[in-house]
Amino acid sequence: MAEYTLVDIIKEYQAGADTAVTIFKEKFGTGDILHGRRQKNYPRVGKLIENGIYRYAFHGSGLEVHFKDKVIDFDFAFFPEPRHDGFDLWRLSIFISNQRNKYPEYLDNNKLEAEFKELINNGIIAKSLLDSTHLYFFKDTI
């Protein structure tokens, strides 16, 4: 069994969100997929199986995507440009719980919370200084 750090898990979560956004942008020719959804360019809930998305559902300012091997639920943040690389403890716990065999040691919520707080305290992750989001980001990206 491979050992993963919480930073590894966050990067995989972000890569999944990036894959989902890229699929929508390429499939529907849009630069802002949330705006495209609000313009009803595609259904709120659907499938893009030919692109590897077995189910998707837009919600509020976010998107939940079911790939074959994982589920990613992410929100968009605006800086003012839209970003999809933000995360929080709740979203990471869902991501981990949908991959129980891959990240068994992080199913322990106490471990997950402690390491998340450690990343904050060590200045690796942080909230944006803007009030437009509640999400965390790698500090070197904000």
Reported as a single tens digit per residue, the pLDDT across 59-98 is 988 999 999 999 999 999 987 778 999 999 999 999 999 9
- CA trace torsion 119, 123, 125, 129 (10° rounding): 140
pLDDT at 1: 46
Structure tokens at 2: 């491979």
Write a three-state SS string for the chain: CCCCCHHHHHHHHHHHHHHHHHHHHHHHCCCCHHHHHHCCCCCCEEEEHHHCEEEEEEECCEEEEECCCCEEEEECEECCCEECCCECHHHHHHHHHCCCCCCHHHHCHHHHHHHHHHHHHCCCEEECCCCCCCCEEEHHHC
Structure tokens at 71: 């589920």
Stretch 16-43: mean pLDDT:
94
